Amino acid sequence: MRVAVGSRWIIVGVVLLACGGPAQAQSMLPGGMPPPPGMSLPQSAAMRFPQPVQVSALLHRDVLQPVPSQRVLGTVKSIVRNGSGTVEAVVEYGGFLGFGARPIAVPIDAMVLLGQDMEIVAYSPKQLNHFPTFSAVGTMPVPSDTIIRVGLAKPSH
Amino acid sequence: MRSPFRPDDLPEKAVLDDHRPLIRGLERRGLLRGGLSLGALAILTGCDVRQPEAVQSALLSISRFNDGVQAWLFDPNKLAPTYPASRVLKPPKFNAYYNINQVRPVNGATWRLELAGLIADRRPWTVEEIDALPQTTEIIKHICVEGWSYIGEWSGVRLSTFLRRVGADTRAKYVAFHTADDYPSSIDMASALHPQTILAVRYAGQTIADPFGYPLRLRMSVKLGYKNPKWITAIEVTNTYPGGYWESRGFSWFAGI
Amino acid sequence: MTSAVSPVPGHDGHGDDSHPGRRPTGGYVACVRGAMSMAMHSADARHTRRLHPMPIRIMHWINAFAMIVMITSGWGIYDDDVIIRGFFFPEWARLGGWAAPSLLYHFAGMWLLAVNGLCYLIYGAVTGRFRDRLLPIRVSELVETVRDTLHLRISHEDLTTYNAVQKALYIVVIVAGVSQVVTGLAIWKPVQFSGLVSLLGGFQTARVLHFAGMAVIVGFLLVHVLLSLLVPRTLWAMLTGGPRLDRSRTP
């Protein structure tokens, strides 16, 4: 559904339309909403009304790009806690028809729940391409019956 | 200096001329800042400004005719399929006409459900009073006009029970809803009285969370998602067509499934 | 190439009453009655039938218009929540700038498509056109014609007989059109027609079937338009009626 209120968002929308270029592949007001510059990931995640979800319910979910074409970036392989205690989703990322995908660790605060799927909203595919391949060293898997909190977004148009 | 807000691709002059009254309306509200692209204009006004007025008005007339056909097709006794609790999506899918960070949670302590129109007892209701009403649980499919769907579980008092309890005139045509997020909505009385139509206070056994309409939302099994308003603040029974947010932007009013 | 169809009594253009069983009786759409009398009248006047009688030509071009409206507005609706992730129709290909006008066009066009389509089906059945044009199909004939087409032997000297590939394609597109109406009704009214939806495998499956039917019809259109442009006499025939049929032939 479209946004049609709030002059602040209209100006944002017009600016985004004026920018054009590679961002044209993104929707005008992506459901994902990358965090405003200068805001930390946890702060931005807190603005998305995080909801409790069981870890087991996240496994195998499609991870989408927050654009109208709903391009599939990968699938959730597991949920882990890294050395600093941050919860991350290990995403089987990229590749084509099951070939060439590699696991990367994406902070859960960079992602949202979208119905039966997830989206990565804080990083573009260009940035994700440069994420290091996931290594389990220094990480702990989060038990599947654990309840964690993940932010929400509206569908991208 | 060329304004950074001015898009490269402005609409043709003919399109702008055709829609001058609409644009003047926007200008009056001070919403224009240096020109709009066609895309932004379409989104703001909610209409497809590339189509001439005559085509728009013909399409809307046919849509109204279709609403009549839909009302004729509607069987008030037909129940939507129900599903096992294991298939319920938790949490449900969020959607609104704005983004998640603009959700304005309602204060349950100060919230009141106001009643208006053809209702005998128009005293407002508190959260506790609504929660105390006899509840029924529906595990049904939510279908969005966009095309996606999911199975959800909602509990609350039947709207038919509530309307009779407050002495509403159930021969009236419309039940209208006002909400905390400025999302007016209305339905036909037949759908309001449908056995699966409830005023939902719980989702999957828990109090409905803020992004999903706390403390009260409408839940029908027989209409598309956008006909189920969240954060309800008032219910009005009326014979005057109340319209709705998306209906003003070209979507069907009956929106029956 | 002579006709493989044996003459069938009753519609030889003379308004023959000797086989009353073949006469259309009451209880069908008024448009067919009008079309029939028009066909009869013109047949009487010239003692011959054309390959494409006027009712067929009118219904064909109305159908072409209605199908374009349904397909392109359907693409606009599809884009609102894609079925194939990553597959998105560009804005210039969609009828309606966003979901709301696309839906309005779709639910307007559906009436034109359904009424015109129904008239066409009734006309084709009642006049015997389907039976004579489209049946029978032999597999050996099908294989031979496909081979010829791939070798670009598509001269198609006799427009009045459909080769096996043509017959197959026209049957496929008619079935696909009917399927689109059925799956369309299912996704329009998944509760009121919940039995139909169950039969189709559920709401999301019905959506996929509706999309697949569109893909079949678009595939047909590409082949159909391309071939008619490669053999322009066929296009001319659908505008002006085409060659006259033998007196012994049926419509």
- Residue B186 belongs to what H/E stretch? strand B185-188
pLDDT digits (tens, 9 = 90+) for B78-111: 999 999 999 999 999 999 999 999 999 999 999 9
Give the closest-approach CA distance of B199 to chain A in angstroms: 22
C-alpha C83/C-alpha C77 separation (Å) is 11
Q: List the single residue in B with minimal CA-CA distance to A5.
A: B98
C-alpha A67/C-alpha A88 separation (Å) is 22
Residue A18: phi, psi to the nearest 5? -65, -30
pLDDT tier, A142 (very low <50, low <70, confident <90, very high otherwise): very high
**A99, β-bridge pairs:** A96
Which residue in the set C85, C88, C98 is minimally distant from A64, CB to CB? C85
Q: Which numeric CATH code is attached to B75-249? A: 3.90.420.10
Partners of A64 on chain C (C-beta within 8 Å) are 85
Beta carbons of A18 and B6 less than 8 Å apart = yes
- Is B99 or C28 the better-scoring residue by pLDDT? B99
Which residue in the set B39, B49, B81 is minimally distant from C194, CB to CB? B81
* pLDDT value at residue A28: 34
Partners of C81 on chain A (C-beta within 8 Å) are 70, 155
Beta carbons of B91 and A52 less than 8 Å apart = yes
Residue B89: phi, psi to the nearest 5? -85, 125
Partners of B90 on chain A (C-beta within 8 Å) are 53-54, 57
Helix (H, G, I), strand (E, B) or coil at B138: strand
Preferred mutation among A8, A17, A26, A116 to probe B, highest tally of B CBs within 10 A: A17
Q: Which numeric CATH code is attached to C20-240? A: 1.20.950.20
DSSP 8-state class, residue B225? G
Distance of CA B2 to the CA centre of its chain: 40
Average pLDDT over residues B136-163: 98
Q: Which residues of A touch B (CB under 8 A)?
A: 1-7, 9-11, 13-15, 17-18, 20, 28-29, 31, 33, 47-49, 51-54, 57, 112-116, 151-155
Q: Are the C-beta atoms of B69 and B180 separated by less than 8 Å? A: no
Beta carbons of A71 and C85 less than 8 Å apart = yes
Q: What is the ipTM of this complex?
A: 0.82
pLDDT tier, C78 (very low <50, low <70, confident <90, very high otherwise): very high
Which residue in the set A2, A70, A155 is minimally distant from C85, CB to CB? A70
Give the closest-approach CA distance of A124 to chain B in angstroms: 19
- Checking if the pLDDT of C85 tops 70, the result is yes
Q: Are the C-beta atoms of B36 and A14 separated by less than 8 Å? A: yes
Beta carbons of A68 and C85 less than 8 Å apart = no
Neighbours of chain A (3+ CB pairs under 8 A): B, C
One DSSP character per residue, C1-37 reads ----SPP-TT-SSS---S-GGGS--SSS-HHHHHHHH
Which residue in the set C78, C98, C190 is minimally distant from B257, CB to CB? C190
Domain boundaries, chain A: 7-152
pLDDT digits (tens, 9 = 90+) for C138-165: 788 888 878 877 787 766 677 878 888 8
Average pLDDT over residues B185-195: 98
Partners of A18 on chain B (C-beta within 8 Å) are 4-8, 37
DSSP 8-state class, residue B47? S
Average pLDDT over residues C32-58: 70
Partners of C107 on chain B (C-beta within 8 Å) are 62-63, 66, 252
Which residue in the set C97, C104, C203 is minimally distant from B149, CB to CB? C203
**Peptide linkage before B134 cis (omega within 30 of 0):** no
Beta carbons of B252 and C81 less than 8 Å apart = no
pLDDT tier, B145 (very low <50, low <70, confident <90, very high otherwise): very high
pLDDT tier, B257 (very low <50, low <70, confident <90, very high otherwise): very high
pLDDT digits (tens, 9 = 90+) for C219-229: 999 999 998 99
How high is the mean pLDDT of chain B? 88
The CB density around residue C196, as the number of other CB atoms within 10 Å, is 16
Which residue in the set A2, A68, A72 is minimally distant from C79, CB to CB? A68
* pLDDT value at residue A29: 43
Going by C-alpha positions, the residue among B159, B167, B238 that lies closest to residue B197 is: B159
Which residue in the set B59, B66, B148 is minimally distant from C105, CB to CB? B59
Domain boundaries, chain C: 20-240
Q: Which residues of C touch B (CB under 8 A)?
A: 77-78, 80-81, 83, 96-101, 103-105, 107-108, 111, 188-192, 194, 198, 203-204, 207
* In this structure, CATH architecture of domain A7-152: Roll (2.30)
Give the closest-approach CA distance of B235 to chain C in angstroms: 26
Beta carbons of A13 and B246 less than 8 Å apart = no
Average pLDDT over residues A20-48: 67
Partners of B49 on chain C (C-beta within 8 Å) are 97
Q: Are the C-beta atoms of A124 and A37 separated by less than 8 Å? A: no
Beta carbons of B252 and C108 less than 8 Å apart = no
How high is the mean pLDDT of chain C? 84
pLDDT tier, B174 (very low <50, low <70, confident <90, very high otherwise): very high
Give the closest-approach CA distance of A116 to chain B in angstroms: 7
pLDDT digits (tens, 9 = 90+) for A57-67: 999 999 999 99
**B168, β-bridge pairs:** B119
Going by C-alpha positions, the residue among A90, A57, A93, A60 that lies closest to residue A74 is: A93
